[in-house]
Amino acid sequence: MIYVDAMHGKLARILRVFGVSCVYLTSDLTDNQIVKLLKDNDVLITSDFELSKRVKNVIYLDSKDLKTNLEKIVNSGIKLDIQNPYCYLCNVKLERIGNKYRCPSCNRFYWRGKQWGNLKKYLPSQLQEFSNT
């Protein structure tokens, strides 16, 4: 499982839209609670340097730029699957219905309109070619 700390809420939502299932950790969790929560194969995405030193599988983000951070995540081995997005609220895989998507949990609908165009600018350059589908 991929966990994203409280500093990166927008990044967690974008990862979900780009097909990465991830858990957003709220700010009420302490560093000790986060460390105990993580299992052997879990990955933590964080900008907390001290916390990053305590975790086995970590992607430490030292930039505030979303595109730079997404490129670092992809270069760390996390696979984006933009054809199979998750609900950015529920983290449940979306069902495709024609040219739209529906979350089976919250029944929210998604489609690739203006918002998709705005999100595409964050895609790492190596994935731009797949963003028109």
As for how many domains the chain has, the answer is 1
Checking if the pLDDT of 126 tops 70, the result is no
3-22 confidence digits (pLDDT tens): 999 999 999 999 999 999 99
54-84 confidence digits (pLDDT tens): 999 999 999 999 989 999 999 999 999 988 9
**Residue 131's pLDDT band (boundaries 50, 70, 90)?**
very low
Q: What is the pLDDT of residue 127?
A: 55
Give me the phi and psi of 89, to 5 degrees please: -95, -50
Domain of residue 106 covers 2-130
| pTM for the predicted model, two decimal places | 0.87
Contacts of 4 (CB under 8 A, 6+ apart): 11, 12, 15, 22, 23, 24, 25, 44, 45, 46
